[in-house]
Amino acid sequence: MGINFKQETFRDDFSFRNSPEQVRRFPFPFHEDGYMYSVNIEPHVPGAKNTVFEHLFDVDEHYVSEMHDRALVLAEDPLRCQSLPHMTLAGWDTLELLMTEKAKSYPEHFSLTRDGDKWHWVNRPLGIDDRFTFGDTSTLPYDPLEYITRQSQGDFAVLDQRDGNLWMDAGIVTTQADWSLDFDIGMNFFEWHAPVPLAHEMGVFKRALKFLMALQQGQPARRHNWTMTINPRLDTSPENYHKWGTDRTTVTPENVGDKVHLRVEIQMFFRLPRSNALLFPIRCYLIKMDELVTSPKWARRFHRVLRDLPPELAEYKGLVRYRPTVVEWLSKYDDGAPTSPGFGPD
């Protein structure tokens, strides 16, 4: 049985909603009643059925609408997708990985037929049916990275490994939490993480870089990250700050449940076979407070996490203006009872 794709918007009237099934599979990022920045990397292996980790790349009910929003962003700002000249091979690696995994995991929606370098790709939800020659960019309507990531949820950074560092030399970024590919393109690992507070002093990024540079093909890894967003807006980019920055001033005790969203990223890491580049998919999930509190455990825990968040992290994540209002709203769902270990709802 296939996925029931929704028609919804992430701008203007903000009609995005999670179905009850989607709420249950939301990747809640807190395993305990507190939070501090950490590496939190674990193997990225297929997980339990009906979770976002069931397959290596999750496709959900929001897929078609998210791809429509990505097309709108790219039409407005083509520089959201960039690839330096030496990264073309990594683009083909990325295309192969995404096509093969989607066709294997969701055969009712995607199919890939290969005859040597002659490939036939069918994406039924988006109405795409293309034949092309693998390795020949002239046979695709876009370069390989842009072609396949226009059909894949989440952002994708492609990192070149050289000179003892990782360099962000290609990517497509349209669902980001306030960072810019156009600004970061060509930067190394420490440069693009420079704004993050506390973590540098804790040695988090030195440990993370050492781990990532040693990552082997066939042994992908993942981690969580999170922030908050007012309205279910995917494109919270610096380039469009004038469109969404003032949203933070609109939170009131009456509209917290509908307007305030927990924004969770599943960040994955794959070693690519031909180029030896590192693929860094960043998959964004949104859940409004009214949906989150349908899980009593999540409601209690998120209240405690947000209430006790270190001020530096609240400032970095842009939560300072409205955090007290949200903490007060969540407090009515926290009866002081202990929460069970782990991420899942009770």
What is the rounded CA–CA span in Å between residue 25 and residue 19? Answer: 10
Structural tokens at position 63: 């897929």
Please count the other Cβ atoms lying within 10 Å of the Cβ belonging to residue 166: 23
What is the rounded CA–CA span in Å between residue 81 and residue 307? Answer: 37
List the catalytic residues: 223
Phi and psi at residue 149, to the nearest 5°: -80, -15
